[in-house]
A and B are shown apart, each in its own frame.
Chain A
Amino acid sequence: METMNASRLSVSLRATRGVPRGSIADYMVMALLLAFAYCTGAGDGTEANSRARPVSAGAPASLLLRLVVPQRTSAGQPVAMTLMLENQGEEEVEIGLGGQPIAFDFIVRDTQGREVWSRLEGVPIESILQLRTIGPGEVMEFTDVWDQRTNSGLPVEPGTYEVSGVLPVVDEPDGWQTDTETLRIEG
């Protein structure tokens, strides 16, 4: 007999139709994220916004996925992480996500490439298929907070870590993945 624990999560859909990149609205969104991180004590450094990259060779080219994490934070502080899926095209795109609520992952690795924490490690994910339409200019955001503990529940040591985001999608075994971002935890 065993007992498993699930973790908390937050998903939202943000529409930025017609808003050019780098506009005031974008800065406002970044400011909101920073405010969120401040309120939760999640990171005291600047945000690292990974390069937006096409989600997959087989997916519509207009979909871009990126990860937002702080560049540095203090030991023991919760770390806010956000996965952003953006449709930069002019057509709406239907995507096959899954889980109830929608599943998404953040993976933290040490400098040796060893997995330290995965948001979905040991978390049951329902196998329901959730078709979602993402319109032109819309951004889907998936946010959670890492408590700086390993998969085993132990606090991590100060140091440098690599963070990546994964959005599991149907018919893509490895899901859609972001570039990695460096997170420095200061003692």
Chain B
Amino acid sequence: MSGNRRIPAMLSVGILLLAAGCRDEYETPTEPNRQRNETISATVTREPDRRLERPHEASFHELARSIRGFAGYYFSEEGTLVALLQDLGEEEVARRLLDTVLRQHQVSDRQQPPGRIRFETAQFSFLELAAWRDRASDQVLDVPGVQFTDLDEVQNRFVVGVSRSSAREAVTRVLAENDVPLAAVVVEEVGTVQDFLTLRDSNRPIEGGFQVQRGGGGICTIGFNAYRSSTQVLLTNSHCTSSFWNRDTSLFYQNDTSPGSNLAAFETADPAPFPCGFFGLNKCRWSDAAGLRKYPSVPWNYGKLARTTSWATGAGNAGSITVNSDNPRMTITGEYPFPIGGEMFDKMGRTTGWTYGFVKKTCVDVNKSEGRRLLCQDWIHKMHATFGDSGSPIFRWHGNTVTLAGLLWGGITQGGTPYILMSAMWNIEKDLGALSTF
């Protein structure tokens, strides 16, 4: 072959190499040096949905290009890297590549330092299982009673979790329709997946700390339940109602205004302010609090506040909003009339959860818009709160019991330092009258 005739051939090879180099990293995973099953290749060469790419599996795709019959790896509880291969003859190649993985793997102090690789035989390759999973997962998940699907590298199977055995038949049919070999599938029976309850969720009986929303209005937090005379009321901020410092009977929903049975209460106690200041030109009250009359049909847990799984302190640090399923509430056993400088208090709010901080300023008169003035409010620092936490209960924490101290209503920044603003129990009862809270 002359030199001239070689040029087009070389160009063709170059173009092919360039084209190969341009391909996305794991767009079309294929098995190296292996006679591919036609069914699999038809699937793995299709254009993947980029929105469903799983970066978690990128390293498996990478290794599958170089190791024939690679089926994944995992770490045993002792820290040993367990690699699965269809052909143990690939062990040498695999060990060379997995050594890098092992060296980069960080183990806990409770585990042995890395150093061991153990090989096990696999029936199916990673690429086969991934192709079957990608092809059938959506339809399988649509079957009533299916809780999850999983490419389980430990079992070397495509695992389908069902919450009732009656789902098995439908799952089997869907798998067959998608040409997924049943030998590659394990159907496991599991309980129903339970979402963790959070402070933003609907919760009955109603307790302090959970989210509340005014019909057509903003989102706040329920402070606490109380009896006002003989009326059952939920306490939150007046600014969460449709008219500040004015009884307006606005409707409130727990947790939100979505259709259903969330209607919980209506405003019934939010007294008008009294004249104050220079020539009585200002309008004053002692608290930003309002009482929402609970509908009789809505159950409540009188004297209880929600308890989440963990707390936090410091500006910007949110606590947990997930209710502690083992110990979901705290009992109010007393009231603090008003705080003293330096005291530690906690709060439970729908946005930033359980946080605590320290009283920085006490009995501060605060001007609001339109000549309104809040008398004798307290400032707390190092307690994180933000929008949605209005109405949160402020309390002294004693483990399973709390002493109620007031309601959070806002925040203020001074010299770059954020503070939480609260109305103390004395102030609230000065405005709304006597409340029984425990």
Chain A positions near chain B (C-beta within 8 angstroms): 1-6, 8, 96-101, 115, 118, 120-131, 168-171, 173
Known: A3-B365, A4-B366. Contact between A128 and B413, CB under 8 A? no
What is the CB-to-nearest-CB distance from B346 to chain A, in angstroms, rounded to a whole number?
16
Known contacts A98-B386, A99-B387, A101-B369; is-contact A125 B219 (Cβ 8 Å): no
B363 CB within 8 Å of chain A: yes
Q: In whole angstroms, how far apart are the Cα atoms of A2 and B244 in the complex?
A: 23
> Are B412 and A123 touching (Cβ within 8 A)?
yes
Partner of A4, one of B288, B388, B412: B412
Q: Which residue of B lies closest to A131 (CB)?
A: B219
Q: A5-B367, A100-B218, A121-B414 are in contact. Are A128 and B388 (CB under 8 A)?
A: yes
Partner of A130, one of B218, B237, B408, B411: B218
> Could you give, for residues 393-421 of chain B, a 1 whenever the CB lies within 8 Å of some chain A CB and a 0 otherwise?
00000000000000011111111100001
Structural contact, B364 and A4, CB atoms closer than 8 A: yes
Closest chain A residue to B349, Cβ basis? A127
In the complex, how many residues of chain B place their beta carbon closer than 8 angstroms to a beta carbon of chain A? 37
B370 (CB) vs chain A CBs: closest residue? A6
Q: Mark B334-365, 1 if CB is under 8 A from A, else 0.
A: 00000000000000010100000000010111
- With a cutoff of 8 Å between Cβ atoms, the chain B residues found around residue A170 in the complex are 351, 386-388
Q: How far is the CA of A100 from the CA of B290 in the complex (A)?
A: 15
Nearest B residue to A103, CB-CB: B387
A33 to chain B, nearest CB (A): 23
- Bound-state CA distance A118–B219 (Å) is 27
B424 to chain A, nearest CB (A): 15
Q: Which residues of B contact A121 (CB under 8 A)?
A: 413-415
Q: A100-B244, A128-B390, A129-B219 are in contact. Are A3 and B408 (CB under 8 A)?
A: no
Q: A126-B390, A170-B351 are in contact. List 20 more A-B contacts (CB 8 A).
A: A3-B366, A4-B412, A6-B369, A98-B387, A99-B387, A100-B218, A121-B415, A124-B412, A125-B410, A126-B288, A127-B349, A127-B389, A127-B390, A128-B218, A128-B220, A128-B390, A129-B388, A130-B218, A131-B219, A171-B351
